[in-house]
Chains A and B, each alone.
Chain A
Amino acid sequence: MKTCLVVDDSSVVRKIARRILEGLEFQVTEAEDGSKALEICQRQLPDAVLLDWNMPVMDGFEFMGHMRRLPGGDQPKVVFCTTENNVAHIAQALSGGANEYIMKPFDKDIIADKFAEVGLIPVGQAMV
């Protein structure tokens, strides 16, 4: 079973994301900010990170930078999931090492499409 770390300061968003990702057969862990997410990644890297941008303590972009520098930190697929919906933010995320980018609000179809796009789930599964 693949693992996905959901990083978002909203417990509601984490809950919705968890339900969708478990439906896509991911084992889900949650973190409420970048610093807690980094602690989890230092213990064990997930296959995927669904990552909010604006969070207290450490934001998503800073977290990604730290995570990418961990041994094996280039492996996890990072999918941003944020209300920052302008080209400047998207470009910054991609050049900083993000694999995909979701603009909130999101739903199951968008997550499935984006996860299929980066090879986390087979393409067919995205159409269910």
Chain B
Amino acid sequence: MTPTEYEYLRKFLKDNSGLDLSADKQYLIESRLLPLARKAGLSGITDLVQKLQAGSRQLIVDVVEAMTTNETFFFRDKVPFDHFRDHIMPEVIKARAARRSVRIWCAAGSTGQEPYSLAMCLKEMGAALTGWRVEIIATDLSQEVLEKAKSGIYSQFEVQRGLPIQMLVKYFKQTGETWQINPELRAMIQHRQLNLLHDFAQLGTFDVIFCRNVLIYFDQDTKINIFNRLARQIEPDGFLVLGAAETVVGLTDTFRPIPDRRGLYKPNDPRAAAAKPPVGAVPPRMAVMAGR
């Protein structure tokens, strides 16, 4: 891949998905796009770039999908799910005792392991949630990934990553070499296609937002913009859960970390936040076009 081709792909991905690759991610592009190029009958990256430049719409979608990472497994990193069970849900159950409903958003739901892990956590709580209305919305940029999430079908390899064996036996049904999550858990989740760069106000407000391992791919202004918009979709006493390598610190005052609970954040009082104009509050389109 020539430097010119790499620069083209970088800009292309930035404009079309918000993915912000640093200058040294050639290997990532090659490992993801070479198989795709071959599948499309192209000889390599050079041909692929030429086709993209010619405006092949199907290829544009394929390239964006191949580059937006889907590395995910059940109960990924474990700690956030311990927080969810031991801290978040007990507080939500107390705070929403009158309303008896909880809304959860997985903002990078990917192939479904995260929303299904949350669904399993909720099932394990048993009687504490009897009679509650539980809504889990899982969104992802990629339609292909959402289809897989919806099916709830995983390979033997996938169900052995992060999933305790008791949960596999309890919540999955084996069909040949694959395993499918039970209809009861599948019914707990609504899957929707969504680009975080676009408006998501229509999703409504949530008690809990999981937004893990997706913001790391965005540049700083885009991150700030997304945090500020997330703050509008979260209940004042709600919870935001970020990935291990992500933080709001130094980016926005709309959320504050909860001490001793890594990755867990609460929204700040909006009146306090409004006193200071939010830094870098650019509309999403501008953020995408910034192209640094």
Contact = CB atoms under 8 A, between A and B. Distances in A.
Contacts of A86: 174
Chain A binding site: helix, strand, loop or mixed by DSSP? helix
B93 to A, nearest CB: 26
Chain B binding site: helix, strand, loop or mixed by DSSP? loop
Interface residues of A, number: 19
Interface in A70-125: 85-87, 90-91, 94, 100-103, 106, 109-110, 113-114, 116-117, 123
Contacts of B78: 116, 123
A113 B160 contact: yes
Residue from A85, A100, A103, A109 whose CB has the most chain B CB atoms within 10 Å: A103
B92 to A, nearest CB: 24
B169 to A, nearest CB: 6
Given A90-B169, A123-B78, A127-B77, A103 B164 contact: no
Interface residues of B, number: 16
Contacts, number: 37
B174 A101 contact: no
B79 interface: yes
B80 to A, nearest CB: 11
Interface of B: 73, 77-79, 156-157, 160-162, 164-166, 168-169, 174, 177
User: Which 8 A/B pairs are nearest by Cβ-Cβ distance?
Assistant: A101-B165, A110-B160, A123-B78, A117-B164, A100-B165, A103-B156, A90-B169, A113-B162
Interface of A: 85-87, 90-91, 94, 100-103, 106, 109-110, 113-114, 116-117, 123, 127
